[in-house]
């Protein structure tokens, strides 16, 4: 583990903006209750100089990913997002039959499978062998490794440089982005684009999405921050788009310096963000909002339990670790957690001792209330709620605002 004492990007001094207490590393589920797993502080610092928002305690790859279980779900809202990404690429004259595309952190290959017909070649890189092998089985060529200078060199022995590189929701998963950026510089064609998609810091803090804060997320990127980071290397931000996925994501389109026309969206978003960060009210509002919701939810759960109702949770994403930890929930108040990911079912949340069950096991369980952790798939969940949950089930969404639905 590394404890950051200065800004990772500009070495400026840091200011603490949020402390969520200690939590085990997300996505590391255990086989049985009471299995010992170490917890680490979740503290976020802000750099006044370059606006970088970063995690203070950064775990090593080994500490983070030894029992990794995330697999990209196949969901309507993501399919639509992939369509939009493709549309954006076409607008910028990419996704042509003669071009190639590489995805870093390609997970189970869903996006590359979708993009494949629009490129001459697609290639994935992902370190989680259990998940990457799903991509390979589905016909997406994937290198099982962390993307690095060494891997870039290996790739270039067999391939020409790539026209498009994509890194979705993984760029912030690294305490030092410099290795990845120098490898990216090697592998990307001079006129190519590098698309970074990440939870967008303004949404995260404005909406009170405290559960975006977990040990895998070492940075909370804004356009200002990405721009500062890119400028340190051979890149610049050339376009920006806001996407509704994962509670609000930033799509940062970068290219090598001086090779592209910088779109109007860049200047616009940079000045908008400066307003947010200069008075830092966004962080104070964030702290007040999440604390107020926490109190309300704890009260709701306590009330249910005192009237002999059974409370469970729906969704076991990484975010759930932060929710259980910050809210102080465990098997005493949350009886079970439902998830559809085969690698998680049958396992247990460490520390909180909450077992994970499959969706079709729900019918055999008694329950009255469910805390929905996968709030970023709210529309998808509400649409199918009457077919998954018992009539009368209370569904509690905590983010962006506390909302309660009754299944009918």
Give residues in contact with Zn ion (CB under 5 A): 7, 9-10, 12, 47, 49-50, 52
Least distance CB 324 / Zn ion (angstroms): 31
Q: Quick one: DSSP state of residue 360?
A: G
Least distance CB 195 / Zn ion (angstroms): 23
Which residues, in sequence order, are CB contacts of 227 under 8 Å at separation 6+?
Answer: 236, 237, 266, 270
The residue (of 91 and 274) whose beta carbon lies closer to Zn ion is 274
* φ and ψ of 126, to 5 deg: -155, 135
- Estimate the crossing angle of helix 149-158 against helix 178-187, to 10 degrees: 10
Least distance CB 228 / Zn ion (angstroms): 7
The angle subtended at Cα 134 by Cα 375 and Cα 361, nearest 5°, is 50
Distance CA 165, CA 381 (A): 31
Nearest CA-CA partner of 18 in 59, 64, 54, 63:
54
SS3 at position 206: helix
Least distance CB 224 / Zn ion (angstroms): 10
The residue (of 47 and 354) whose beta carbon lies closer to Zn ion is 47
Cβ atoms of 173 and 199 closer than 8 Å = no
Distance CA 176, CA 188 (A): 20
Residue 2, beta-bridge partner list: 58
Cβ atoms of 37 and 23 closer than 8 Å = no
Angstrom distances, CA of residue 99 to CA of 123, 161, 185, 289: 12, 10, 17, 46
Least distance CB 171 / Zn ion (angstroms): 17
Least distance CB 181 / Zn ion (angstroms): 16
Residue 55, beta-bridge partner list: 44
The residue (of 49 and 231) whose beta carbon lies closer to Zn ion is 49
Q: Concatenate the DSSP letters of all residues of 21-66 into one string.
A: EEEPPTT--BSSTT-----EEEEEEEETTT--EEESEEPPHHHHHT
The residue (of 12 and 41) whose beta carbon lies closer to Zn ion is 12
The residue (of 12 and 346) whose beta carbon lies closer to Zn ion is 12
Least distance CB 235 / Zn ion (angstroms): 17
Angstrom distances, CA of residue 106 to CA of 122, 129, 240, 300: 11, 11, 21, 39
The residue (of 204 and 333) whose beta carbon lies closer to Zn ion is 204
Least distance CB 198 / Zn ion (angstroms): 17
Least distance CB 262 / Zn ion (angstroms): 22
The residue (of 14 and 356) whose beta carbon lies closer to Zn ion is 14
The residue (of 7 and 223) whose beta carbon lies closer to Zn ion is 7
The residue (of 53 and 180) whose beta carbon lies closer to Zn ion is 53
């Amino acid at each position: 583990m590394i404890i950051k004492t200065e800004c990772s990007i500009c070495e400026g001094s840091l200011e603490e903006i949020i402390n969520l207490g200690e939590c085990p590393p997300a996505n590391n589920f255990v086989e049985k209750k009471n299995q010992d797993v170490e917890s680490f502080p979740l503290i976020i610092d802000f750099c006044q100089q370059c606006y970088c928002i970063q995690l203070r305690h950064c775990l090593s790859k080994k500490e983070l990913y030894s029992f990794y279980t995330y697999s990209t779900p196949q969901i309507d809202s993501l399919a639509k997002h992939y369509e939009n990404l493709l549309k954006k690429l076409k607008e910028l004259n990419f996704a042509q039959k003669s071009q190639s595309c590489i995805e870093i952190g390609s997970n189970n290959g869903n996006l590359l499978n979708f993009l494949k017909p629009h490129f001459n070649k697609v290639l994935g890189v992902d370190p989680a062998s259990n998940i990457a092998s799903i991509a390979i089985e589905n016909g997406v060529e994937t290198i099982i490794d962390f993307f690095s200078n060494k891997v870039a060199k290996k790739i270039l022995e067999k391939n020409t440089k790539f026209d498009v590189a994509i890194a979705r929701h993984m760029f912030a998963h690294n305490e030092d982005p410099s290795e990845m950026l120098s490898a990216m510089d090697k592998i990307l064609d001079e006129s190519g684009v590098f698309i970074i998609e990440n939870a967008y810091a303004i949404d995260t803090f404005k909406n009170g999405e405290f559960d975006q804060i977990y040990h895998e997320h070492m940075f909370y990127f804004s356009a200002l921050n990405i721009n500062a980071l890119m400028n340190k290397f051979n890149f610049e931000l050339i376009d920006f788009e806001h996407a509704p996925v994962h509670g609000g994501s930033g799509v940062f389109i970068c290219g090598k310096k001086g090779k592209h026309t910088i779109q109007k969206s860049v200047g616009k978003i940079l000045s908008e963000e400066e307003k947010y960060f200069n008075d830092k009210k966004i962080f104070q509002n964030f702290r007040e909002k999440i604390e107020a919701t926490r109190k309300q939810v704890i009260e709701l759960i306590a009330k249910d339990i005192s009237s002999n109702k059974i409370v469970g949770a729906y969704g076991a994403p990484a975010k759930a670790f932060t929710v259980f930890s910050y809210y102080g929930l465990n098997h005493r108040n949350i009886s079970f957690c439902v998830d559809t990911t085969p690698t998680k079912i049958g396992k247990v949340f460490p520390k909180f001792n909450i077992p994970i069950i499959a969706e079709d096991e729900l019918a055999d369980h008694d329950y009255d209330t469910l805390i929905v952790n996968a709030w970023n798939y709210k529309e998808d969940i509400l649409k199918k709620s009457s077919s998954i949950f018992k009539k009368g089930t209370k569904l509690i969404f905590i983010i962006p605002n506390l909302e309660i639905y009754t299944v009918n």
